[in-house]
Amino acid sequence: MTQPVPTVPPATAATYVFAVCRHVDEGTLPRLPGITGAPVRVLPFERLHAVVQEVPAAEADRRSWTERLSDPGELERCVRAHHQVVMAVAAQGPAVPMALATLYSSEERARQALGADAARFHTVLDRVDGRVEWGVKVYASSASATTEAGRGAVSTGVPAGPPTSGAGRAYLERVRGTQRAREESRRAALLTAEEADAELRGLAVAARRLRLQDQQLTGCRRAQVLNGAYLVEEGRTARFTEAVASLRQRTGALIELSGPWVPYSFAGEDGARGER
Query: Which range touches another protein (CB under 8 A), out of 22-30, 66-74, 155-163, 196-204?
Result: 66-74
Size of the site for another protein (CB under 8 A): 62
User: Residue 104 interacts with another protein (CB under 8 A)?
Assistant: yes
Tell me how far, at minimum, the Cβ of 18 lies from another protein, in Å. Answer: 10
Burial of 177 (0-12, 13-18, 19+ CB in 10 A): buried
User: Residue 92 interacts with another protein (CB under 8 A)?
Assistant: no
User: Residue 191 interacts with another protein (CB under 8 A)?
Assistant: no
The beta-carbon contacts of 89-94 under 8 Å, at least 24 apart in sequence, are 89/18, 89/19, 89/21, 89/24, 89/51, 90/19, 90/21, 90/262, 92/21, 92/23, 92/24, 92/25, 92/28, 93/21, 93/22, 93/23, 93/24, 93/129, 94/21, 94/22, 94/125, 94/128, 94/129, 94/130
The residue among 135 and 161 lying less far from another protein, judged by its C-beta, is 135
Q: Among residues 7, 164, 216, 235, which is the contact residue for another protein, using CB under 8 A?
A: 216
Query: Which range touches another protein (CB under 8 A), out of 36-44, 55-63, 148-156, 194-202?
Result: 55-63
Q: Among residues 46, 77, 92, 105, which is the contact residue for another protein, using CB under 8 A?
A: 105
Tell me how far, at minimum, the Cβ of 114 lies from another protein, in Å. Answer: 7
